[in-house]
Amino acid sequence: GESVGLHLPTLSVQEGDNSIINCAYSNSASDYFIWYKQESGKGPQFIIDIRSNMDKRQGQRVTVLLNKTVKHLSLQIAATQPGDSAVYFCAENFQGAQKLVFGQGTRLTINP
Amino acid sequence: GAGVSQSPSNKVTEKGKDVELRCDPISGHTALYWYRQSLGQGLEFLIYFQGNSAPDKSGLPSDRFSAERTGGSVSTLTIQRTQQEDSAVYLCASSSQGGGQPQHFGDGTRLSIL
């Protein structure tokens, strides 16, 4: 079946540095992608989304890049802060479907 | 405004008992989703409600699981004759429409089956 996965299960970054979290997807029919942040004991928090007609989208300190040629999605977090430590999930929405398919998550740790 | 609210936040019960988990979606959101998250894992889709349409139950793992959404707002997920493998965090999300829109999550109900 189709799946969304992450290249690295854990990532450690020095505070103030930039971080990049990667995600691969396999369904070329997916047309909507979301990144979520999940802190311990909390539900996933929406960070940023992107549609398949875009290659890049920027938010506050975050940028999502979509490479449809290689079916790759990434989340860039600039000037990381301790509060950025969390598990990050990518999710995809198949064209015409209603549910999101989530990857397994990457744990980001920001070192002081 | 208020986000998605779930109750209880924690539930401990004995194997074989029935449990009911409640979700209050964001006001005005027509789409409501239930997911299950096992420890250290991603989210597993369970069921989806959209307006007055028949729900998508394709993710329910067994006939012990059922869900209702009354009046297009509050939803209840019921697990009958609970098993230890049902232990997980059950997350509810809502969105303003169906697919192609961000889903906003509650903080979940942590269910532990003894």
pLDDT tens by residue, chain B, 114 residues: 589 999 999 999 999 999 999 999 999 999 999 999 988 778 999 999 998 888 999 999 999 999 999 887 999 999 999 999 999 999 999 998 767 788 999 999 999 999
**Cβ neighbours of residue A106 closer than 8 Å, sequence gap 6 or more:** A6, A8, A9, A10, A11, A21, A22, A87, A88
CA pair distance B89, B106, nearest whole angstrom: 11
pLDDT band of residue A4 (cuts 50, 70, 90) is low
For residue A103, the distance in angstroms to the closest alpha carbon of chain B comes to: 6
- Is 70 exceeded by the pLDDT of residue A23? yes
What does the pLDDT read at residue B21?
98
Closest chain B C-alpha to A36 CA, distance in angstroms: 10
Å from A98 to nearest chain B CA?
4
Q: Residue B18: what pLDDT?
A: 98
Q: How far apart are CA A58 and CA A62, in angstroms?
A: 6
DSSP B57: -
Which residues of A, range 62-101, sit inside 8 Å of B by Cβ? 89, 91, 93-94, 96-101
Residue A90: closest C-alpha in chain B: B42
**Token digits of residue A89:** 């999930």
Q: Do B42 and A100 touch (CB under 8 A)?
A: no
Judged against a pLDDT cut of 90, whether residue A27 lies above it is answered with: no
Distance CA B61, CA B74 (A): 22
Backbone torsions φ then ψ of B43, nearest 5 degrees: -95, 135
Q: What is each CA distance from B77 to A2, B36, B67, B102, in whole angstroms?
A: 27, 11, 4, 22
Which chain B residue has the Cα nearest residue A32? B100
User: pLDDT value at position B70?
Assistant: 84
Kindly report, residue by residue over A97-110, the tens digit of the pLDDT: 777 888 888 999 99
Which H or E run contains B23? strand B19-24
Give the whole-angstrom CA distance, residue B46 versus residue A91: 15
Radius of gyration (C-alpha) of chain B in whole angstroms: 13
Strands A100-102 and A86-94: antiparallel
pLDDT tens sequence across A88-99: 999 998 766 777
Flag if A41 and B31 touch (Cβ within 8 Å).
no
Partner-chain contact A98 B108, CB within 8 Å: no
